[in-house]
Amino acid sequence: MDRKRILITGAAGFLGSHLCDRFIKEGYHVIGMDNLITGDLKNIEHLFRLEQFEFYHHDVTKFIHVPGRLDYILHFASPASPIDYLKIPIQTLKVGAHGTHNCLGLAKAKGARILVASTSEVYGDPLVHPQTEEYWGNVNPVGPRGVYDEAKRFMESITMAYNRFHGVETRIIRIFNTYGPRMRLNDGRALPAFIGQALRGEDLTVFGDGSQTRSFCYVDDLVEGIYRLLMSDYDLPVNIGNPAEITLKEFAEEVIKLTGTEQKIVYKPLPVDDPKQRKPDITKARDILGWEPNVARSEGLKITYDYFKNLPPEEWVKQPKEFVSLK
């Protein structure tokens, strides 16, 4: 059987591993690539026995060689939580810049269609609410978070340049807050942090007064949106996320209710340039892709909590990854 071949960078990460699962299920030959700086082989170890899956331990900021035909590329390699990109800012910039450049060069050489993973962070701390794809954003390029935001903005820019100048078939997705199994409990983002604290019997930490909002999309819904965008004919950015907005204080209360614990909420100072609000306008996704989220937050949260609860308790107390001698 002549399977279509797809390269997925960041394959051992949260989103990348779910994408590997989806494309295996769709009958593709999946080539996973990851340097395991924030990814974890445990996320994809169940795929190693399959003949239609192969894995390259490789850093995409270096030249990428994949022998044979390639039909599609999904570029999902990047640190994706503030705790990571504050510790490894230069790698974050390089994977968004050099990594994207290498993936686009590979797509051009192979005649492959490429989808790059951008983010709602390109909107920065938005002054427009909800955020449409036409909004150019409010980003601080020299703030500590700017390394991620600007890497992704450059990614979008070079992707459109390859589309217009070289005729490469490109797709750009702007991903809003996503959650589900295989997130790292210690990655510093609100949802895994709350669940981790609840499992350990700690009080839940909310930064600021908890009035800042987020919109959480369950991972299966996001993967469906990615799949539909890749298969579409639309080459400008598309927001994929769940517009059901909630304050972080309300969200912490939901987690406490779900876990049936007695913890209280403690408040700490807000980090620099933390966005005050996040809510996608998904009109384009609805109109162009026929996509909208199906999994309610209550349902997705329960699946995610059960996943973490069934991990060995030592996983609940793991400290955030330390990165050494990385230049």
Going by pLDDT thresholds of 50, 70 and 90, the confidence category of residue 323 is low
Nearest in space to 174 (alpha carbons), one of 120, 136, 217, 216: 120
Residue 13 lies in a domain: yes
7-53 per-position pLDDT tens digit: 999 999 999 999 999 999 999 999 999 999 999 999 999 999 999 99
Task: Collect all residues with Cβ–Cβ distance below 8 Å to 111 and sequence separation of at least 6.
Answer: none
Residue 204 lies in a domain: yes
Residue 321 lies in a domain: no
Is 227 in the active site? no
Kindly calculate the radius of gyration of the chain based on its CA atoms and give it in whole angstroms: 19
Residue 322 lies in a domain: no
Number of compact structural domains in the chain: 1
Mean predicted lDDT score pLDDT of the chain: 92
Residue 140 lies in a domain: yes
Domain CATH code at residue 37? 3.40.50.720
Q: Percentage of the chain surpassing pLDDT 90? A: 73
Residue 327 lies in a domain: no
* Most confidently predicted of 181-190, 201-210, 300-309, 313-322: 300-309
As a whole number of angstroms, the distance between CA 5 and CA 111 comes to 12
83-93 per-position pLDDT tens digit: 888 899 999 99
Is pLDDT at 324 greater than 60 in this prediction? no
As a whole number of angstroms, the distance between CA 19 and CA 217 comes to 15
In which domain, by residue range, is 186 found? 5-316
Whether residue 146 contacts residue 140, with contact meaning beta carbons closer than 8 Å, is answered with yes
- Per-residue pLDDT, 62: 98
- Per-residue pLDDT, 325: 43
Q: Percentage of the chain surpassing pLDDT 70? A: 97
- Per-residue pLDDT, 145: 86
Residue 325 lies in a domain: no
- Per-residue pLDDT, 32: 98
Residue 303 lies in a domain: yes
In the set 148, 162, 179, 218, the catalytic residue is 148
Query: Tokens for 278?
Result: 């996040």
